[in-house]
Amino acid sequence: MAAPYLYWKSFVFESPSIGSVNDVKSATLQKMQEIGLANAAIHEWDVNGSTSDTIVAVCYVQLGVHKWTAIVMAAGTHAKSLRDQLIAKFDTIVWL
C-alpha cells in the first residue's frame, strides 16, 4: 500500500493579543476539536489530532512579536477536507 499524500497550507495569526505560541496552540486545539478531532492534543512542537483514517498536525513559525505562521499538514482519506475545515475555523478566531 502506498503512503497517503501529505496536504499542507499555511495560515498567519497576527494580533497584539497573542502573547506567545501557547495562545496559538490553545486556539488550534479548540478549533481541531470543533471539526471532530476529539483526540487533538498539544505537544512541545505541534498540535495534532486524528480520525480513524486521517491525521492533522499543525506546527508554528514565529514571524514577529505577535505574529505566527501555522503550517497545517494533513494525510489520509479526508486530508484535504479536514485541512480546509481547520483553516476556515482559524478565520473565525477573535483575539481578545
> Does the pLDDT at position 73 exceed 80?
yes
In a domain, 76, yes or no: yes
In degrees and rounded to multiples of 5, residue 55 shows phi and psi of -120, 140
Q: Is residue 2 part of a domain?
A: no
Residue 33 belongs to domain spanning: 9-90
Q: Quick check: helix, strand or coil at residue 90?
A: helix
Q: Give pTM, 2 decimals.
A: 0.94
b/e per residue, 49-72, with b = 16+ CB within 10 A?
bbbeebbbbbbbeeeeebebebeb
Give the residue, 4 or 70, on which the prediction is more confident: 70
Question: Does pLDDT of 85 surpass 90?
Answer: yes
* Structural domains of the chain, count: 1
Tell me if 33 is assigned to some domain.
yes
Residue 13 grid coordinates: 495569526
Report the pLDDT averaged over residues 44-61.
Answer: 97
Interatomic CA distance for residues 8 and 82, integer angstroms:
11
pLDDT at residue 2 tops 90: no
Helix then strand then coil, % of the chain, to nearest 5: 25, 40, 35
Is pLDDT above 70 for 1?
Answer: no
Is position 86 within any domain? Answer: yes
In a domain? residue 66: yes
Q: Tell me, what CATH number does 50's domain have?
A: 3.30.310.80
